[in-house]
Amino acid sequence: MSAKRHVARSYFADTVWDAAERRCLQRRLLRWFGGAARDLPWRRSRDPYAVWISEIMLQQTQVATVIPYFERFLRQFPDIATLAAAPESLVLRHWEGLGYYRRARQLHEAAKRLVGQHGGQFPRDVNQVRALPGIGRYTAGAILSIACDARLPILEANTVRLLSRLAGSREDPHTTAGQQRLWQMAESLLPNKNCGAFNKALMELGSLVCTPRQPRCDECPLRPHCRAFAARLQEQIPLAKTKPAVEDLRQAALVIRRGGRVLLWQWQPGERWAGLWDFPRLPSAAKPSQADLAALNDPLTARTGLATSQLKPSATTKNSVTRFRISLDCSHAFAFRGRLARKRSDLRFVRLTELDEYPLSTTGRKISRMIAR
Ligand code: SF4
């Protein structure tokens, strides 16, 4: 039989490996994890609250980035009740720089629901957990298996890759059908106990050994069971996801001063940085200059009631947010006319010394540091 004939057509673990081989695979993986697991702060506790915070932070974010955020967050909000009682601005301030701020808002909302509906306790029932904002099948399975050893499967980027390779599956794992079959496979591979450790081990192996490019098959404890390795297809599996095209955006940020204060506005629900504060930021076609003040003033006036009359461009910063590559031209507006609409809680002149208390967008924080110098 040619090597490629080993490639599985079905993803049920019991059609790829017989029961004895599955038990062997489980034992090998758990043994490897016992010796190779990284000492990560969220692994020192089985408190579902701590596991939940870590799982939400780790979505779309690298482990090394998450560690200091996780430690600071748990110091500030050590339990569900403290998180629920905190103002949203404080939660966002502790999330600042992690990105994908919807995660923080949903976490906060879920904490309030846990206090209101579950007596401040994290439920053990998977349906109750999945009913919380921001928690899908993966997160519920990860929290309950890790914290309570519930027999629930997980599937995220690392395990999609690892399971696809183990089964030698050449189906696109990003389709609904492909995802369903991988979930079935994750479920049928679970041991009867130690499910939390098994799930963590799958993710760890995917992250450290079965990497997207050049997987380290020589060090892999599951190599004897891996159909992709047997068929020399590990570099072609899984099928790569088509990346959305990058879109370039140009924006202008205005530092509008009044005495020793600067104007901030708060992003509104439905906007990209909802809940965060920022220096007024407007779409612009080119670097702002005196000549095109009118183009900036129309949208600025519409939102704030103010218009600037003297502009001094300073720095340009670049950053990427999801599929957007944003060039942000910061300008100082030394004079303005008009007045802020009364009773607008989303517009404030703030002392430079108070900027640290506000949750700002990443570029907003850069600008605040620049003007504080
Ligand atoms: Fe991944 Fe290679 Fe291990 Fe297969 S043998 S699971 S491709 S690291």
Tell me the pLDDT tens digit for each residue of 187-222: 999 999 999 999 999 999 999 999 999 999 999 999
Q: Is the pLDDT of residue 9 over 60?
A: no
Q: Is the pLDDT of residue 319 over 90?
A: no
pLDDT of amino acid 264: 96
pLDDT band at 11 (very low <50, low <70, confident <90, very high): low
Going by CA atoms, what residue is nearest to atom 4 of ligand 1?
A: 226
The question of whether 55 is a catalytic residue gets the answer yes
Residues with CB under 6 A from ligand 1: 162, 165-166, 209-210, 215-217, 220, 222-223, 226, 228-229, 234
Q: Is the pLDDT of residue 320 over 90?
A: no
Q: Is the pLDDT of residue 36 over 90?
A: yes
pLDDT tens for each residue of 324-340: 899 999 999 877 888 88
In a mutational test of the pocket of ligand 1, which residue from 7, 162, 169 has the highest number of ligand atoms less than 8 Å from its CB?
162
pLDDT, average across residues 32-50? 96
How far, in Å, is the centroid of ligand 1 from the Cα of 32? 14
Given the residues 21, 55, 71, 109, select the one marked as catalytic.
55
How far, in Å, is the centroid of ligand 1 from the Cα of 29? 12
pLDDT, average across residues 225-248? 92
pLDDT of amino acid 373: 73
pLDDT band at 13 (very low <50, low <70, confident <90, very high): low
98 vs 342, residue with greater confidence: 98
170 vs 198, residue with greater confidence: 198
What is the position in ligand 1's atom list of the atom closest to the CA of 161?
1
pTM metric for this prediction: 0.87
pLDDT, average across residues 238-247? 88
pLDDT tens for each residue of 350-365: 999 999 999 999 999 9
pLDDT band at 290 (very low <50, low <70, confident <90, very high): low
pLDDT of amino acid 6: 44
pLDDT band at 115 (very low <50, low <70, confident <90, very high): very high
37 vs 290, residue with greater confidence: 37
217 vs 372, residue with greater confidence: 217
pLDDT, average across residues 231-259? 91
pLDDT of amino acid 5: 43
291 vs 44, residue with greater confidence: 44
pLDDT of amino acid 135: 98
How far, in Å, is the centroid of ligand 1 from the Cα of 194? 22
How far, in Å, is the centroid of ligand 1 from the Cα of 227? 9
pLDDT of amino acid 71: 98
What is the position in ligand 1's atom list of the atom closest to the CA of 226?
4
Task: For residues 261 and 37, give the distance between their C-alpha atoms in angstroms, rounded to a whole number.
Answer: 50
Going by CA atoms, what residue is nearest to atom 5 of ligand 1?
A: 223
Lowest mean pLDDT among 172-186, 196-210, 236-250: 236-250
In a mutational test of the pocket of ligand 1, which residue from 210, 216, 232, 233 has the highest number of ligand atoms less than 8 Å from its CB?
210
pLDDT band at 153 (very low <50, low <70, confident <90, very high): very high
Task: Please state the three-class secondary structure of the chain as a single string.
Answer: CCHHHHCCCCCCHHHHCCHHHHHHHHHHHHHHHHHHCCCCHHHHCCCHHHHHHHHHHHCCCCHHHHHHHHHHHHHHCCCHHHHHHCCHHHHHHHHCCCCCCHHHHHHHHHHHHHHHHHCCCCCCCHHHHHCCCCCCHHHHHHHHHHHHCCCCCCCCHHHHHHHHHHHCCCCCCCCHHHHHHHHHHHHHHCCCCCHHHHHHHHHHHHHHCCCCCCCCHHHCCCHHHCHHHHCCCCCCCCCCCCCCCCEEEEEEEEEEEECCEEEEEECCCCCCCCCCEECCEEECCCCCCHHHHHHHHHHHHHHHCEEEEEEEEEEEEEEEECCEEEEEEEEEEEEEEECCCCCCCCEEEEEHHHHHHCCECHHHHHHHHHHHC
pLDDT, average across residues 238-260? 90
User: Of 106-115, 246-255, 305-314, which one has max mean pLDDT?
Assistant: 106-115
Going by CA atoms, what residue is nearest to atom 1 of ligand 1?
A: 210
What is the position in ligand 1's atom list of the atom closest to the CA of 206?
1
Going by CA atoms, what residue is nearest to atom 2 of ligand 1?
A: 217
How far, in Å, is the centroid of ligand 1 from the Cα of 226? 6
pLDDT of amino acid 87: 97
Going by CA atoms, what residue is nearest to atom 7 of ligand 1?
A: 234
